[in-house]
Amino acid sequence: MKTADQDETRIYDYLRHKKKFPNVWCAGCGIGIVMHAIVRAVDRLGLSKDEVAMISGIGCTGRMPVYVDFNTMHTTHGRALAFATGLKMARPDMHVIVVMGDGDALAIGGNHFIHAARRNINLTTIVVNNHIYGMTGGQHSPTTPTHRLASTTPYGNVEQPFPICDLAKAAGAAFVARSTVFHATELDRFIESAIVKRGFALVEAVSYCHTTYGRMNKLGTAVDMMRALKERSVPAEAAAKLSADELQDKIVRGVLLDRECPEYTQLYAEVVKKAQAAAARA
C-alpha cells in the first residue's frame, strides 16, 4: 500500500478540499507544511479519520482544523489543551492532536501548556513557532527573539524568548522533539512518534512569518526565510558537540526527550477501578 508521502493524491482523502480550500494562510506560509506532515503521519500510522480529533486555539495555526477531515474543534484563544483534556478524558480511545501557535500555546495558553505536560496526559501537541502574532499584524510573542522588531516592539524586543521544548521537558512531558518546516519529512517522523507516544508529546515545528516578522526584520522572502531555517538548524547529535557560543541563534533539531512515565488517562482508569472496588465492598 502506498502511503500519502508516496502518493500525493492520497492526501486529499484527509482534507476537506472540496469544501474549504483555498486556505486563509499567506502564500509561502509554513503552516500548510505542518498540516501535511500531520496528515502524512496519520496516514502512515493507518489511523481511521474517525478516531482522530484535531483541536486548536486562535491564530493562524488555529485555522488548521477546518481543512482536515477529522473530528475538528477550533476553540478559544490559548485554551485548546484544556478543551482537548476534557475530550480525551471522555474518549480516551481517540487520538487527540492539538495544534497551536507560539502566542496561543505559551502566552495566553501558557498555564494550560505546563499543566497538560505536568499531568502527562496522552495528547499530541504541535506548536508551530513563527516567533510572532501573525494574524493580528505582527505583534511580539513569547518566542520573539530579543532585539528583534515587531509591530509592538518598534525599538527592539527587550524580553527573552521562551524555550518551548525546555519548558515542556521541565513541566513533565514524556516526549519532546523539534524540527522545522524545511525538514518536512523529519517533521512527519517526529509527529508520528508523538502520536504513538503514550503521554504528553510535544513537537515544536519551527516556522516563519515572512509577511510580518520577516518584513519588519528585513529577513527577505519566504524562500529566504526557509533557506535560513535550513542553514541555522543543527541535528541534536551535532549540537551536543558545540559550545554554547556556537549554538547561539541555532535551531537544534531532533528528539530531545523520550521517556517512560505514567500517563494520566491510564492512571485515572486505576482510580476508577479503586473507587469501584471500594463501592462494591460498601
Partner 1 sequence: MSVRLMQGNEACAEGALAAGCRFFSGYPITPSSEIAEILSRRLPALGGVFMEMEDEIAGIAAAIGASVGGMKSLTATSGPGFSLMQENIGYAAMTEIPCVIVNVQRTGPSTGLPTSPAQGDVMQSRWGTHGDHPIIVLCPSSVAETFHLTVTAFNFSEKYRTPVVLLMDEVVAHMRERFEPPAPEAVEIVHRMGTDVPPDWYYPYDETPTDVPPLVSFGQGFRYHVTGLMHDRAGFPTERRDEINAWLKRVFGKINHHVSDICLYAEDGTQDANTLVIAYGSTARSAQHAVKLARARRRKVGLLKMLTLWPFAESVVEDLAEGVRSVVVPEMNLGQLALEVERIVGRKKVLRVNRADGEMVTPQQILQAIEERQA
* Interface ranges with partner 1 (CB under 8 A): 19-20, 49-51, 53, 55, 65-66, 69-76, 79, 82-91, 93-94, 111-112, 115, 268, 271-272, 274-276, 278-279
> Is 69 or 263 the residue whose CB approaches partner 1 more closely?
69
Minimum CB–partner distance for residue 34 and partner 1 (Å): 19
Minimum CB–partner distance for residue 155 and partner 1 (Å): 32
> Is 87 or 234 the residue whose CB approaches partner 1 more closely?
87
Parallel, antiparallel or unpaired: strands 201-206 and 124-129: parallel
Q: Please give the full DSSP string across 57-110, using - where no structure is assigned.
A: -SSTGGGGGGGBSSEEEE-STT-HHHHHHHHHHH-TTSEEEEEEEHHIIIIITH
> Is 109 or 214 the residue whose CB approaches partner 1 more closely?
109
What is the C-alpha to C-alpha distance for residues 252 and 234, in angstroms, rounded to an integer? 5
Which residue from 122, 82, 72 is spatially nearest to 104, judged by alpha carbons?
82
Surface-to-core class of residue 179, CB atoms within 10 Å of its CB (0-12 exposed, 13-18 middle, 19+ buried): buried
What is the C-alpha to C-alpha distance for residues 252 and 64, in angstroms, rounded to an integer? 25
Minimum CB–partner distance for residue 136 and partner 1 (Å): 15
Minimum CB–partner distance for residue 193 and partner 1 (Å): 23
Minimum CB–partner distance for residue 183 and partner 1 (Å): 30
> Is 87 or 219 the residue whose CB approaches partner 1 more closely?
87
> Is 72 or 152 the residue whose CB approaches partner 1 more closely?
72
Minimum CB–partner distance for residue 241 and partner 1 (Å): 39
Q: Please name the amino acid found at residue 30.
A: G
Q: Taking each helix axis from N to C terminus, what angle separates 110-119 and 164-171, rounded to the nearest 10 degrees?
A: 40
Alpha carbon separation from 49 to 26, 75, 247 (Å, rounded): 27, 20, 40
> Is 158 or 271 the residue whose CB approaches partner 1 more closely?
271
Question: CB of 139 within 8 A of CB of 217?
Answer: no
Minimum CB–partner distance for residue 236 and partner 1 (Å): 30
| Sign of the alpha-carbon dihedral angle for 89, 92, 94, 99 | positive
Minimum CB–partner distance for residue 205 and partner 1 (Å): 22
Question: CB of 65 within 8 A of CB of 54?
Answer: yes
> Is 261 or 275 the residue whose CB approaches partner 1 more closely?
275
Grid coordinates standing for 242? 558545540
> Is 27 or 90 the residue whose CB approaches partner 1 more closely?
90
Question: CB of 164 within 8 A of CB of 143?
Answer: yes
